[in-house]
Amino acid sequence: MTSPPVIEVRHLSVRYGEHWVLQDVSLTVQRGEVLALIGGSGSGKTTLLRQILGLARPAQGEVRLFGEALFGGGLRREQALRRRFGVLFQHGALFSALSVFDNIAFPLRELKRLDEALIHDLVRLKLHQVELLPRHGALMPAELSGGMIKRVALARALALEPELLLLDEPTAGLDPDRATSFVRLIRTLCAELGLTVVLVTHDLDTLFALASDVAVLADRRIVVRGPLQQVMQSGHPLVRHAPARARYTPAEAA
């Protein structure tokens, strides 16, 4: 039996007041794909990501994750569905009053089924996965560099062993060296954990490094969708000025 798409967006339309941001958008993401959403400012890429996250209901259409409607069927079903994906927000969105350890432990404690000894071991594992040390767990968010904030936020996104990872501008605010290091970490974890990934990015180097597929948003819709190399050859203005050499090896050739 063929498994359903990890993400299926069906005829989605979103508006703010009288202004339509997305109109009749359909999109499918299969298991194991790494899809980048790109577009100019105000093109709707972050709005589309918010719809996939279930942070807002569309004016028309629907989003399905793992073959199930994102909304409906009761709170417990919706919560179970949301535990199957993790999110890395653009600026980390760490809880400022909680330590690194407690930020990562937060989703584990929300399950209310794990004892503290197991949570402690799982948090240490997540710190190791993002190349941080156990002692970093005692730090507060205000004591972290930008690169460390991203790593802690990634560890928290992976805390529940998700099948789907959603990334909003994963390298925003990082200098080139830290961005390179962080992207390599994401790429390694995606390969090791077999994740399906959707990312929003404006950075072409990040696009080259991570994405196997690209969807270009413009004029309230997806105007180009396909494998990275195919989209790069499409001549669309958003991608035709891509640098001849990026900081990373393109994802398809890695």
**Residues 75 and 177 both lie in one domain:** yes
**Per-residue pLDDT, 215:** 92
User: In tens digits, what is the pLDDT along the chain, a chain of 254 residues?
Assistant: 678 999 999 999 998 888 898 999 999 999 999 999 988 887 888 899 889 988 888 889 999 999 999 888 788 888 888 889 999 998 889 999 999 999 999 999 987 678 899 999 999 999 999 999 999 999 999 999 999 999 999 999 999 999 999 999 998 888 888 889 999 999 999 889 999 999 998 888 888 888 889 999 888 889 889 888 888 777 667 666 555 444 444 454 33
Same domain, 111 and 56: no
**Same domain, residue pair 68 and 189:** yes
Distance CA(161)–CA(122), nearest Å, equals 10
Which is nearest to 242 in space by CA: 219, 216, 221? 216
Q: Which residues span the domain enclosing 31?
A: 7-84+163-253
Residues 12 and 43 in one domain: yes
User: In this structure, are 21 and 133 located in the same domain?
Assistant: no
Residues 70 and 54 in one domain: yes
Q: Which H helix or E strand runs over 150?
A: helix 146-157
44, 169: one domain: yes
Name which of 71, 56, 116, 106 is nearest 86 in CA terms. Answer: 106
Structural domains in the chain (count): 2
